[in-house]
Structure formats: C-alpha cells, structure tokens
Structure 1
C-alpha cells in the first residue's frame, strides 16, 4: 500500500516556487478544523525579494505587444478552465459551498477573458489625439506605472485577487500581491497555472502570510509605484501615509465590494495603473 503524497505549498515569486526566507509557516485547516497544509509565512524580506523579481520582469513585459499580452492572458483563462474542478475544491476548503465555488471560478475565467479582450483595445479609449494651435500632431499615449502592490481581501480569494491584478498586467505592469490570509490555497494553485501560462516569471508574484507584518513595507517601498488594496480604517491610513512619503498612487476598495459585479470589467480600471505620455510631432514645412 502506497502512502499519499501531500503537496508542499509554496509561494510563486520570480517564476519559481519558494518557501519564506524565514522558514516560518502557518497552518491551513479545512472547514472541519482538520490540518490541511503548512503555508509559507512570508516576511518583509520576501516582499523586497518579490519586488526585485518584479523589477527584472517588468521592462520586458511592458515592451510586449498588446496583442501578445492578450494571447498570454487568454491562455491563463484556458488553463484555469481546464482545472476548474480542482480550483473549486481549493475554494471549498474554508467551507464555501460547491455551487458558490464553481460560480467564483467561472466568473474568474470570464474576467480574465474580458481583460484579454481589452489588452489591444484600451489604448483607443484611454489615449487621444489633441487639437493644438500650432503646426504639430499632438497625441497622448498610456504607459504602465511599473511595479504595483496588491493587498487582496479575505473574501472571494480567487476572483477578488484576479480582479485587482488583471488591469495592472493588461497595461504592462508587474505585480507583487499579498493574498487572502483566511483562504490562501487558491493562490497556490493559481501560481502553478501562472508558471505554465506563458506569462514571464516575475510579472505576477504571490505571497502568503500576515498582512500586519507587511502592510507598512507595501506602503513605503519606493520601488512600488502604486497600490491596490482592500482596506479601511487604520490600514487605509497607514497605506495612504506611507504612499505619500514615497509618492505612489493608492486605489482603495471597500471590504464589502461585490467582486462579481460587472462594474469591475472596465478599461477605466486599467487607467488607474497607467501614466499619460503626450507627444508633439512637427508637421508641415
């Protein structure tokens, strides 16, 4: 009789699967309270390492054509759909009903496809040709801001995480995300899919652990150029104050956000993580 080989969950950082540099873990239990797995309890050092990985991957990802980024995102949707049953089981670990878990997986697949469709179209919405009173052709283009930090909510651990990440990577940014502490296992499976989805390693980096340990570093790290966080109260204040010191933009979401809402499927979510570049080109003699 062979023994069951249990998975050792690891975080996905820089295209590799890592344990925390501290060696610390926290227990993940299923809905019945039984032990399921030990997950890495990442530290500020892990966060800084993830930012370095994102910086290395970011320039190349930003230079990819919008069409190529769309293909890669669509491939990710295919992979999630192929492993939908496994992902639904991961979502059910915290007691989520099967029907709700399947609904969340399906909604996530649809959202990835939606942003894949926007990848080569959002520029037509966010960019512009500007009339000027001189002999110039004046136009505005968007560029990614760089590395973006994400603090995901406890609820909807797959759909909310991907809803926050998708506008960023669609625009050519790289991401460092701290996933749900309550239900981190879906992000472990997501990392496996990202690793084989043609998305370059380091474009999306997923950390598990305690938010309180890393919140201030997310807020103040100077190489993070923007933050998207589900936060309120003291957490929101900490993020905003830290971001002010390091001059980064912050997009805050209410913890009661309905992540299934179609309002999250908009090119204007992409605009939150882009910068405008205006070009003056001389015309005529």
Structure 2
C-alpha cells in the first residue's frame, strides 16, 4: 500500500466565532451536519443560550468603534473581506456543493455571486447617506439636516436553504451600515457560515463586529429576540410560526424586525431594501449664520 493510500485525512474542527475568538460551545455540545444525500460532512458546535448572550456582549462592546469608523473605512474593510473570499473560492464552492447538493459548476457560480454581492454592499458604505439623509426645508432661519445612523446590535437569522449567497445577502448590509451582528447560521447547512468566520477573523474586521453561532435556530433565536441589548432582528431564517413567536418576544423592547419573504430570490438584484431597515435617522437643527 502506498503512503498516499494509507494517509488519513485531517478532519476540520468547526467552532463558534464570538468576540474575535473561536470558542467551542460552553455546553460542549456538537451536532452532525449531513449533506443533501445524508452523507456526514462534519460536527458543528451546538450553541447554547449562554453562547447567544456572550455573542450579544461581544457585539455591544464592538459597536462603538465600528459605528464610529468612517463609512469609507468600513467599505475598505468589507472589500478586503471580498478579496479573501475570492482567494478561498474553491473551499466555499466545495462546502456549498456538499451542503446544497449542487454540481461544482453551480456551486462555484453561487460563490461568485456571493463575492460579487459582498463587493456591491461594500460600495454602498459611503453612499447611503445621500439617499437616506438630506437637508429638510423648514420655516425659519435654521438648517435642518437628517442623516442615517446604525441601529445597534442586530441578530441575523441566516436563510436556511441558501447557505452562502443568502447568508451574504443578509449579513453584509447589516454591518456595512455600522451595526454589529450576531449571526445564527443555517441549521442544516452551517459550514459556509463557520468558514466565513475564519475569513472575518483574518481580515481587518474588528473582533465582535460579527459573531457566528451554529445550532438549532429556534433555540438560539429565542434568547436573542428577548434580549434587552439586541436592537433589531432579521428573521430571514425563521419559518412563519417561529417568526411570529420571535416578533412577540422582540416587541418587549421595541426591536426593529424584518420579516422573512415567503419565497426570496437571493440571486435577484437586492436594491437597498436590506440597507434601510437597520438605520435610524438623526435630525439636527442649526441656526443660520453661526
């Protein structure tokens, strides 16, 4: 038997990503991730409620620095992430193919679309103020100016079916505007999200801006929806029944909620629909002549 035939592969250990570090779940739990043909792919960490609370703490800690960065700088950082995603294109294509049962050519097309989508959102970083803000006409010797500001900590439930393109489509618009995120990966297809965390960790993105959890969506989402320090929640990865439960929990501290579409087309032109929901409008009055 040749040495190559006798060699055992080094299996990858996937971990959570919280506060710029890669912890295992505090519960020590994992769950099996299988592909479209029920083939075992990996063991993913099964995040707990405690992990969710830790992720919120990390996101809140990172919010001041990230929201205070210039829009141009945030765009540069997101573009750097796109460069790194391009460099790991083959890895993501393999994970998408295994997770979604696609051919290598179709999964590569999905990855290319996701990278392009990330670049597209990066370009909006210093342009949203032009369409979401402006000077308001008022009666009196005043300037009245409105400008968009980030909402705060956003819980993002990644789409269940589209493991990478859908993931990028919900995460990038949240962070490019200056919010920080607690991302709950697709329950059955979490591997691209967990690998994305490795890219984020080695990019210029500050730790805590994005925190990635994997596990049972309903189990993790419930404490995030009820958490008093979470300002908004994107329900893209929640079914209708779960979305209703989370909306009720989110109402306790008046969280902004973005309801899932019944049949989203993640490949369609996204427009600015996901940029605006997690922005606040600050209006300033200033006397003329001063």
Q: TM-score, normalised by structure 1?
A: 0.95
TM-superposed deviation, 1:31: 4.2
Give the secondary structure class of the aligned counterpart of 1:143.
strand
Aligned match for 1:189, one of 191, 195, 201: 195
Aligned match for 1:138, one of 141, 144, 148: 144
Q: 2:249 corresponds to which residue?
A: 242
Q: 1:222 corresponds to which residue?
A: 228
Matched, 1:16 2:55: no
Q: 1:200 corresponds to which residue?
A: 206
Give the secondary structure class of the aligned counterpart of 1:281.
strand
Q: 2:9, 2:91 → 1: CA distance? A: 17
Q: 2:156, 2:37 → 1: CA distance? A: 30
Query: Could you give the per-residue CA deviations for residues 42-83 of structure 1, whole angstroms, max 9, x where no partner exists?
Result: 011100000000011111000111110010000111111111
Query: Could you give the per-residue CA deviations for residues 7-30 of structure 1, whole angstroms, max 9, x where no partner exists?
Result: 111111111111100000001234
Structure with the higher fraction of residues in strand conformation = 1
Q: 1:29 corresponds to which residue?
A: 34
| More deviation, 97-106/270-279 | 97-106
| More deviation, 224-233/193-202 | 224-233
Give the secondary structure class of the aligned counterpart of 2:207.
coil
| Cα-Cα RMSD | 1.4
Q: 2:68 corresponds to which residue?
A: 63
- Runs of at least 4 residues of structure 1 off by over 6 A? none
Q: 1:269, 1:106 → 2: CA distance? A: 20
Q: 1:98, 1:205 → 2: CA distance? A: 29
Q: 2:160 corresponds to which residue?
A: 154
Q: 2:94 corresponds to which residue?
A: 89
Query: Could you give the per-residue CA deviations for residues 244-283 of structure 1, whole angstroms, max 9, x where no partner exists?
Result: 1121010012252110100x132x4211111000000111
| More deviation, 199-208/213-222 | 213-222
Unaligned regions of 5+ residues in structure 2, if any? none
Q: 2:38, 2:138 → 1: CA distance? A: 66
Q: 1:252 corresponds to which residue?
A: 259
Matched, 1:272 2:255: no
Matched, 1:125 2:136: no
Q: 2:130, 2:36 → 1: CA distance? A: 47
TM-superposed deviation, 1:236: 1.6
Unaligned regions of 5+ residues in structure 1, if any? none
Q: 1:244, 1:92 → 2: CA distance? A: 38
Give the secondary structure class of the aligned counterpart of 1:197.
coil
Q: 1:102, 1:127 → 2: CA distance? A: 38
Q: TM-score, normalised by structure 2?
A: 0.94
Sort the Cα spacing of 1:161 and 1:255 in 2 relative to 1 into closer, same or farther, 3 A: farther
Q: 2:58, 2:120 → 1: CA distance? A: 27
Aligned match for 2:105, one of 99, 122, 125: 99
Query: Could you give the per-residue CA deviations for residues 86-110 of structure 1, whole angstroms, max 9, x where no partner exists?
Result: 1000111132222221111111111
